[in-house]
Amino acid sequence: MSRVWVIMGAAGSGKSTTAEKVSFELKRIYKNRPAPVFIEGDDHHPPENKAKMSRGIPLDDTDRAPWLEAIKKGMIDPIGGKDIFVTCSALKKSYRDTLASVAETDVVKSVRFICLKVTEDELRSRLEKRQETDPSHPLGAALLQSQLESLEI
């Protein structure tokens, strides 16, 4: 059975970087285990969501529902007992509950959430730098405030 870790936090908190580093270290330390699977949550947004975010419009619960279901499906697809690292903002408890529900399946042993906490100033700085280096990334600094307001810890 698989173990799932969801690396969560606001945009710019370092979810992808953290998941990649932890995944790499696990591969290095546990050489006899299959390599972990990495699911980049941003890759599962439907085109409508990406377009909305690119225009600086925050997503609502209705927008996020198909995205969360797509991530959840990726977590329960047969993967042969590999550990799974998921990056997902998982801002609200209800979103985390949706993702955690896969632990009730016969392929996932557990789902754990790791919340990355970063100051608002640092998040804004990171997002502004990301916009400069990757202008195609849909999540810019304009959406930071709505993400912080939605975050339930």
CATH of the domain at 35: 3.40.50.300
Residue 31 has pLDDT above 70, yes or no: yes
State the residue range of the domain holding 120: 2-150
Torsion of CA 73, 78, 81, 82, to 10 degrees: -60
Region label for 19, one of left (φ > 0), alpha (ψ between -120 and 50) or beta (otherwise): alpha
- Percentage of the chain with pLDDT > 70? 95
- pLDDT, mean of residues 8-14: 94
pLDDT at 140: 67
Task: Report the domain count for the chain.
Answer: 1
Hey, is 59 helix, strand or coil? coil
pTM for this entry: 0.89
